Amino acid sequence: MNEQIASIQSAALELIAAASDERSLDDARVAVLGKKGTLSLAGALIKDIPNEEKAAFGQSLNSARTAITAALEEKQNALQAIADAAALSGIDLTLPARAHPTGSLHPLTLIRDEAIQILRRMGFALADGPEIEDEYHCFDALNTPADHPARNEKDTFYFNSGKLLRTHTSSVQIRTMESSTPPIRIIAPGSAYRRDEIDATHLSVFNQLEGLFVDTDVTLPDLKGTLEYFLREMFGTSTEVRFRPHFFPFTEPSFEIDVKLQIKGQAPRWIEVAGCGMVDPAVFESINATRKDNALDPGKVTGFAFGMGLDRLAMIRWGIKDIRLLIENDVRFLKQFA
């Protein structure tokens, strides 16, 4: 009997070895281990075996089953390995990707958001105002009365209604102070307009960011500390910042701010990035006259204001040589900000 089992085992192992795929291996399994498989049929003979030989027969049956099962499993693994290898063969990792459309935010959005994030960390909230303004909010209330030499009407777009396109976002200072009481700590990003031919360095519509802090104890050290911190966050912690005396009708004293920067391919130099100053008491007086409650008593409150050109900041940040790139929306340009 043992010889019979041995021959079943060797035939089974041959069959398994010959299996070339999942299906023929399965056929082999059924042919040997299935209900009517060769080993199963041989197993059924145990009842005819004398008792004293049963143990030995059972043993050799079991060892044959173990060997066959192991062979099946081994073959199964081998076939799976071949199939897995086939599934991965011929795949070219170096072919380019499928195309998925890419998009980007506009550089102005990026620079504006960066500035806003820094200033929000410093406790500024956003404010807003109309772009079609009246002369009062754009000029008069900002201490620039009708025959003031700083009132540049030639560069201003007017409408038949007498209104105008705001020439700066400083009008938002007035709008905010008219409707809220100190402490006022706001920033106002927005468009401003100048009757200027468009060229490599000028746009007739440009973008500014205005800031205003009015409270009972606002001083030049606050202005200086705030703007130094802002500019160092913007341009790097070791950036040199200088304040040049300047003139704006609505702040006194007034300054222009330069940072020392190195633009690609140039020697480091001072670059003007912002204007600022302490709110002129005359501005508070105009607002009090409108509010009629003296909430901005220049004897009690002080403030500082600042403004900067976002288009300019973007040009500095990314070395953009022609400002028109910011409004032409050439995808080859925009892609670089993806």
Partner 1 sequence: MNISLNWLSTHLDLSGKSISEISDLFTFAGVEVEGIVTKGIASEKIVVAQIMEAVQHPDADKLKVTQVDAGEGQLRQIVCGAKNYKVGDKVPCCLPGAQLPGGFSIGETKMRGVESKGMLAAAEEIGLPKGEDGLLILPADSPIGVPVKSLFDSDTLLELEVTPNRPDLLSRRGMARELATLLKTPLISEKLPETSASAASPDFIRLEAADACPFYSATRIDGVKVGESPAWLKDRLASIGLRPINNLVDITNFVLHETGQPLHAFDAAKVTLPLVIRHAKDGEPFTALDESVHTLTPDDLLISDASGAALALAGIMGGLDSGVTESTSSILLEAAYFAPSGIRRSSRRTALSSDSSYRYERGADPQAVLPAAALAISLIESNATATQTAGELPSPPSPVALDLGKLHHLLGDSISTEAAEEILTRLGLAKHPDSKWAIPSFRQDLTRHIDLAEEITRVHGLANVPSRLRATFVPTSDVDAAYDADMILRRRLAALGLYECQTIKLISETQLADILPLRPMQDGDVIRVKSPLSEDHAIMRPSIIPGLVASAERNARQQAKSIRLFEMGRVFRNAGGGKALDQESDSLAILITGHSNPSSWAAKDRPADLYDAKAIFSALLPNQTISLKPKDRENFALGAEIKAEDQTIGVFARLSLQRERDLDFTSPVFVAEMDLGKLRKLISSKSQVEDLPQFPGSSRDAAMELPLATANAEIEATLAKAKEPLLVSYECFDLFTDPTGVKIPADRKSIAYRFQYRATERTLKAEEVDLAHKGILELLRTTDGLVFR
Q: Footprint of partner 1 on residues 144-183 (CB under 8 A)?
A: 146-150, 153, 157-161, 163, 165, 183
Residue 228, interface with partner 1 (CB under 8 A)? yes
Considering the complex, what minimum distance in angstroms separates the CB of residue 59 from partner 1? 51
Considering the complex, what minimum distance in angstroms separates the CB of residue 55 from partner 1? 53
- Closest CB to partner 1 among residues 291, 324: 324
- Closest CB to partner 1 among residues 32, 212: 212
Residue 94, interface with partner 1 (CB under 8 A)? no
- Joined together, the tokens standing for residue 176 give 């905010």
Scan residues 58-87 and list those touching partner 1 (CB under 8 A). none
Of 34, 45, 48, which is closest to residue 5 (Cα–Cα)?
A: 45
Residue 140, interface with partner 1 (CB under 8 A)? no
Among the listed residues 274, 280, 284, 301, the single contact to partner 1 using CB under 8 A: 280
Tokens 């160092």: give the residue: 232
Among the listed residues 139, 243, 250, 284, the single contact to partner 1 using CB under 8 A: 243
First to last CA, the chain: 78
Considering the complex, what minimum distance in angstroms separates the CB of residue 84 from partner 1? 24
Report the distance separating Cα 299 and Cα 303, nearest Å: 12
> Among 10-18, 77-85, 237-245, 284-292, which window interacts with partner 1 (CB under 8 A)?
237-245
Report the distance separating Cα 337 and Cα 109, nearest Å: 10
> Among 13-21, 43-51, 76-84, 89-97, which window interacts with partner 1 (CB under 8 A)?
89-97
Q: Cβ contacts of residue 157 below 8 Å, gap of 6+? A: 164, 165, 193, 195, 204
> Among 29-37, 43-51, 78-86, 239-247, which window interacts with partner 1 (CB under 8 A)?
239-247
Binding mask 118-137 for partner 1 (x = CB under 8 A): --x-xxxxxxx-xxx-----
Residue 265, interface with partner 1 (CB under 8 A)? no
Residue 210, interface with partner 1 (CB under 8 A)? no
Let me know: does 259 contact 270? Beta carbons within 8 Å. yes
DSSP class of residue 98?
Answer: P
- Joined together, the tokens standing for residue 81 give 């390995």
Pairing outcome for strands 184-193 and 125-126? parallel
- Joined together, the tokens standing for residue 333 give 């340009």
Report the distance separating Cα 82 and Cα 209, nearest Å: 65
Considering the complex, what minimum distance in angstroms separates the CB of residue 85 from partner 1? 24
- Closest CB to partner 1 among residues 50, 162: 162
Binding mask 282-321 for partner 1 (x = CB under 8 A): --------------------x-------------------
Considering the complex, what minimum distance in angstroms separates the CB of residue 293 from partner 1? 20
Let me know: does 124 contact 186? Beta carbons within 8 Å. yes
Among the listed residues 96, 238, 264, 267, the single contact to partner 1 using CB under 8 A: 96
- Closest CB to partner 1 among residues 50, 90: 90
Residue 322, interface with partner 1 (CB under 8 A)? no
Report the distance separating Cα 65 and Cα 73, nearest Å: 12
Residue 143, interface with partner 1 (CB under 8 A)? no
The alpha helices in 171-246, defined as continuous H runs, are 171-179, 220-235
Report the distance separating Cα 282 and Cα 280, nearest Å: 5
Q: Cβ contacts of residue 212 below 8 Å, gap of 6+? A: 172, 173, 176, 177, 184, 185, 186, 187, 188, 279, 303, 304, 305
Residue 240, interface with partner 1 (CB under 8 A)? no
Residue 199, interface with partner 1 (CB under 8 A)? no
Report the distance separating Cα 72 and Cα 70, nearest Å: 5
